[in-house]
Amino acid sequence: MRTYTNVKDLGDLNTAVQEALEIKKNRYSYKGLGENKTLLMVFFNSSLRTRLSTQKAGMNLGMNTMVLDINQGAWKLETERGVIMDGDKSEHILEAIPVMGSYCDIIGVRAFAQFENKEDDYKEKILNQFIKYSGKPVFSMEAATGHPLQAFADLITIEEYKKTERPKVVMTWAPHPKALPQAVPNSFADFMNEADVDFVITHPEGYDLDPKFVRGAKVEYNQDKALAGADFVYAKNWAAYADPNYGKILSKDMSWTVTTQKMALTNNAYFMHCLPVRRNMIVSDDVIESPQSIVIPEAANREISAQTIIKRMLESL
Ligand code: AN0
Ligand code: CP
């Protein structure tokens, strides 16, 4: 595997999930694979889970791991070609990327949507420059339009917890004070559309996601109707995608918060969220603390999803 940016890079999804579950049984059995190989993780944005789980995954495989926080101690990077660099940016990304590539064997990149220019975000300007100029296999640790390590961990978690062959999975928008990217819901939709589940997306009008990710999924604007009979409730906030409101907050309607009353509409559903989560905005204390909340095992599976990707990349070196 040379790149991991979306579900298609995994090939057969069932095979990938089975491989991940095998790795989970003995995560140290490929310790020799990464010997004398270096993983570089580059962060343009904050992280708790991605940083720790991906570093752990690399160490499980016997790799050396390095982390660079671009905004803490590195030179400020210019990303546009042709700019006269007389401002506060000391280095161009076109030098920085091949230099970073020269010190490592595999690169993970976190570079969120900037909400300045929809086209730049949706063509994955930063991530694609790493793919093009680093000379190394590159995986997304949440880029502008996707978070495939998260969605893969989510799918593994659903596989572990499902009680029926084809569970009903409902992804619901929920309120949040800040404008958040569409990366997590895009990737979750991408994976659920490929998985053997009954997938429903619910959000207020105006929050429709890019049709490229929604594909044939059912979209229901009435949250209560959507939640009826759900086996899994996947909550997430995102800012508007559609023009002219790209990156804007259109609603903070607290009636969309996932509460005990909302969960009562479901088939005793499990509650999922990628974290970090704002309590009593996205989900009530009671729901996230309930036995049906699987947010912690979901986060723990990030180590397994990352290890599966890095293992496949090491095998292709
Ligand atoms: C980010 C987002 O919504 O994309 C990261 C989630 C994994 N969340 C925040 O910035 C709060
Ligand atoms: N879920 C997730 O990616 O969390 P972090 O932003 O903390 O890495």
Out of 2.60.40.10, 3.40.50.800, 3.40.50.1370, 3.10.200.10, the CATH code matching 3-146+302-316 is 3.40.50.1370
User: Quick one: which atom of ligand 1 is closest to the CA of 276?
Assistant: 11
The predicted structure's pLDDT at residue 299: 99
Q: Which are the contacts of 86, defined by CB distance < 8 A and separation ≥ 6?
A: none
Distance 180 CA to ligand 1 centre (A): 6
Nearest CA to ligand 2 atom 3: 50
Q: For residue 186, which ligand has an atom nearest its CA?
A: 1
Distance 86 CA to ligand 2 centre (A): 34
Distance 251 CA to ligand 2 centre (A): 24
Residue 255: pLDDT band (50, 70, 90) is: very high
Matching CATH topology for 3-146+302-316 and 150-298? yes
Q: For residue 149, which ligand has an atom nearest its CA?
A: 2
Residue 30: pLDDT band (50, 70, 90) is: very high
Q: Is the CB of 275 under 6 A from ligand 2?
A: yes
Calculate mean pLDDT across residues 269-290. Answer: 98
Out of 3.40.640.10, 3.40.50.1370, 3.40.50.10490, 3.40.50.300, the CATH code matching 150-298 is 3.40.50.1370
Distance 175 CA to ligand 2 centre (A): 18
The predicted structure's pLDDT at residue 298: 99
pLDDT digits (tens, 9 = 90+) for 136-190: 999 999 999 999 999 999 999 999 999 999 999 999 999 999 999 999 999 999 9
Q: For residue 183, which ligand has an atom nearest its CA?
A: 1
Calculate mean pLDDT across residues 79-98. Answer: 97
Q: Is the CB of 236 under 6 A from ligand 2?
A: no
User: Quick one: which atom of ligand 1 is closest to the CA of 238?
Assistant: 3
Residue boundaries of the structural domains of the chain? 3-146+302-316, 150-298
**pTM metric for this prediction:** 0.98
Q: Is the CB of 49 under 6 A from ligand 2?
A: yes
